[in-house]
Chains A and B, each alone.
Chain A
């Protein structure tokens, strides 16, 4: 069973559209993250949730809105997509006290 799963793996869409990426973890972890990897492979944190509460919210356009319906899920909704949003988005999770992040396989978003 996949520990951290993201869907979809690939997402191709037009500028101006709204899209969502889903993430689920079956590890029982209490902290989940969204990271963005740009075309130069640089990984930057976007959001972090702990027990469904937002604890990290880096400088990200407010077109990006995370939603955590429960501890096992952290979804990312993006409004009015722009060309610059094209990137790979990674979901990750961690149990406090273990200090080890587990990553999903990433979602490659292409905005045309």
Chain B
């Protein structure tokens, strides 16, 4: 079974600064997908960024980028120019696309606070 570990339960960052959230995972699969989801106080689950394991190039979405280290099974999220609206829970997630199960496994989350 796949596991996803987020070792930072809480983090804080000053507005306009950069912060990196850590995520490691364990799997024996070679074909999979990794995600970061954001959950603000509104409770909505918002997809921030997605990485395909077979792509070496790190995914980027505006101020959000990842550092994907496949051999180390590491998938960290970097938020640049942090904004107050980035305050939220951030979940790292792993999708096993093999055997047609398409099961998404989540880490326990990191609560990020952006300080004015």
Contacts and interface: CB of A to CB of B under 8 A. Distances in A.
B43 A43 contact: no
Given A40-B108, A99-B97, A100-B50, A45 B103 contact: yes
A50 interface: yes
A48 B103 contact: yes
Contacts of A40: 108
Most chain A CB within 10 A, of B39, B95, B108, is at B39
A88 B43 contact: yes
A91 B102 CA distance: 15
Given A56-B101, A99-B33, A42 B43 contact: no
A41 B43 contact: no
A50 B103 CA distance: 11
A1 B60 CA distance: 27
A27 to B, nearest CB: 13
B48 to A, nearest CB: 12
Interface string B91-110: 10001010011111110110
B103 A42 contact: no
A50 B100 contact: yes
Contacts of A31: 102
Contacts of B45: 90, 92, 103, 106
A68 interface: no
Given A50-B100, A55-B100, A96-B102, A103 B44 contact: yes
B33 A42 contact: no
Interface string B27-47: 000000101010100111101
B77 interface: no
B43 A105 contact: yes
Given A42-B106, A99-B102, 11 more contacts: A43-B106, A45-B105, A50-B102, A90-B45, A92-B45, A96-B102, A100-B50, A103-B44, A105-B43, A105-B44, A106-B43
17 contacts: A33-B104, A41-B89, A41-B109, A43-B91, A45-B105, A50-B100, A55-B100, A56-B103, A88-B43, A92-B45, A94-B102, A99-B33, A99-B50, A103-B37, A103-B44, A103-B45, A108-B43
